[in-house]
Structure 1
Amino acid sequence: MVDLVVRSRRVLTPEGERAAAVVVQGGKIVAISPYDAEIENVTDDVDLGDDALLPGLVDTHVHVNEPGRTEWEGFASATRAAAAGGVTTIIDMPLNSLPPTVHAEALKIKQAAATGQIHVDVGFWGGAIPGNAADLPELHANGVFGFKAFLADSGVPEFPPVDADELAQAMHVVDALFVVHAEDPEHLQEAESSAAYSDFLASRPADAEHAAVATAIAVARAAGRRVHILHLSAASALPLIAAARADGVRVTAETCPHYLTLDAEAIPDGATEFKCCPPIRDGANADQLWEALADGLITCVVSDHSPCTPELKRQESGDFAAAWGGIASVQLGLPVIWTAAQARGYTLADVVKWMSRRPADLAGLRQKGRIAVGADADLVAFQPDEEFTVDAHALHHKNPVTPYAGRVLKGVVGTTWLRGSRVTGDEAGGRFLLRGEGAE
């Protein structure tokens, strides 16, 4: 028996877009046949016609916050939102939950909190903070995909930043991927109470990212380790990354939908839903990020989904200095990027590369992010020409705050399949992913 066949005239495979029938058995893709192939003994045969069939997106930068700050976001709500947005794999960041994932016991606590609640597959990053270098090997052996470090204040006291020496110490004790929030505290200014976005932006200049990227590269070069620059906002740091890669340093970088599609000059005063760190910069900067993405210098686009309660966004006062910095977008990343990418002449194949295959490759998840024989049958039915208006209250993440509210976006997610099973939001069928289990 064949569990599932999904047919489409627009199947996005690693080799390109083509008409095909994707054959699924036991949660895996077992064949990619001609679109009109006769396949016997099929339990569920779905024909999407001209709607596209994408591999499930892989979002390696999600803050779930459970346990400890579950009122901000929890595993049930975050993974429902992910599935509704075509995301079938997330990797959870180690901070904002209590305790943060900085030792093996904390990882067990987080996994226990997530058990029975996840609607997509979930992996975990560990955290590198001052004084926990000795805990990193055990945490790595327990399956985290690498270690996040901040070079500036994280916003929560239980996850303090490291300096260059502490980052180097962490890199020396464990051969792992280090993912770095790159802002240099020496270049940041204390933001004063203000409803003007321009005042907040001035407090976190591009120089802060430039300097921190240089530090992360220098430490990785000396240690011989892999380093990944998280949520790159400042295009001025791109030449540093290009030069380091040309010199053999194993450095990669990501960016996020908000840095590619939002413009600092259009953010209204008091609109704290736009606050994030590093900040959204101007349209000319975004143009350079798009060019780097097209050239492969920036390898992937991920959400940095970092929600909080509306009260913490200080929406009543509109005070950017006091508001929590984070954007909730795990459900909207695909249509946000597709809307902008199509307008710039990019294709669905480009979007799949940036949001599915390359994030999977970053984490070593070779069975994810691609429609290929042997891969997990994580699939998304997508209507690329349909439009919708974002209603924050209709989104699945816990708190109805998003800078995309009221925007008209192109691209509607229909059915999402996780390992060949439809994700409905009712039954939590996600699994935990561990480094080394089907990963590299």
Structure 2
Amino acid sequence: MTAPLAAAPAAEAIQKPPRGAGEKPSLVGLSRAGIGAELAAIGVEPKQIRMRTAQIWNWIYARGVTDFGDMLNVSKDMRATLADAFTLARPEIVAEQVSEDGTRKWLMRFPPRGAGRPVEIETVYIPEIGRGTLCVSSQVGCTLTCSFCHTGTQKLVRNLTAEEIVGQILVARDRLGDFPDKSTPVGAAVPSEGRLVSNIVMMGMGEPLYNFDNVKEALLIASDGEGLSLSKRRITLSTSGVVPMIPRAGEEIGSMLAISLHAVRDDLRDILVPLNKKYPIAELLDACRAYPGLSNARRITFEYVMLKDINDSAADARELVRLLRGIPAKINLIPFNPWPGVNYQCSDWETIEAFSDIVNRAGYASPIRTPRGRDILAACGQLKSESERMRARERLALEAMMADSED
């Protein structure tokens, strides 16, 4: 991406792409009011709209149906009418990769919108003992050009719609057998109990706060008790620091917040996260201190990628503690995940542990995130929708970098 920072879009600057002629609208990703409006438009009687909306909502999100014909408590004539007018289609799965550690990555393709072209994004599922976390994308590409991030090398194509964001969650639940009457694939790595998709993190491709309206609509569906029914405490929205939108995220979405910090000095963060030139560290942390609902039970997570000889000194750790004083927080230390062409290296493990010790002694939880899915380019900072087209020599280079980082 070569466009200057000033070219980054405001939250509502990119409009939803229009549908092509003859393309059926989807009911996925619509609010209840939106579904009701669509039903009214096809002539459903006003006195039936509330009931029909509740039925459709339950079938889409609680039961996971993809065919109106399976909505068994809806009359046969109404099912036919719905099928003629609307779709419940999922995104196309172009590729599914499974890491040696059980992490799954899906390359998903969405159809062209209006005069556009098909677009692709990546979504990642990370199974752990007590939970299954889905890393969801909000944009095709990204404008932020963070220098350590593979996604930042892909130009922004467009925002994803609420339908496309919710669609990623539905696909994951489909593929994992996480809907009633569906079975988990044999041999799949999943949590031993409870929901298979128990947590959502908006940490995939794109900056969620530059696509605020669609992300909001999607996450409200995800947290709806009669919808996908995920607790807001299990939904985390990650931002690189779009300061003006942070209060709205707290007030209107109410999810947990994660900040991609990665540096404790403005001069360095200007390089690592160029958005810092617009919203420097002090301004960002002031917004964090004022985040609605902030408490010890609803801490902000600060993401900090560990870059060898760049941001990993003991002095950096002490300054991080000083900066975050007074903010209920957890600091996730992320060993850098390499990708072809990058000039950074991961900090030595001893350095990461020493950094963590300083932060822990100051009273902050400071887990070191175990790299997951590196072998399929599914780890933090590695997502890019063209990754499945990587040339053989680039894959060999990646394997060499990973081997060096593990020595």
TM-score, L = length of structure 2: 0.38
* Structure (1/2) with the larger helix percentage: 2
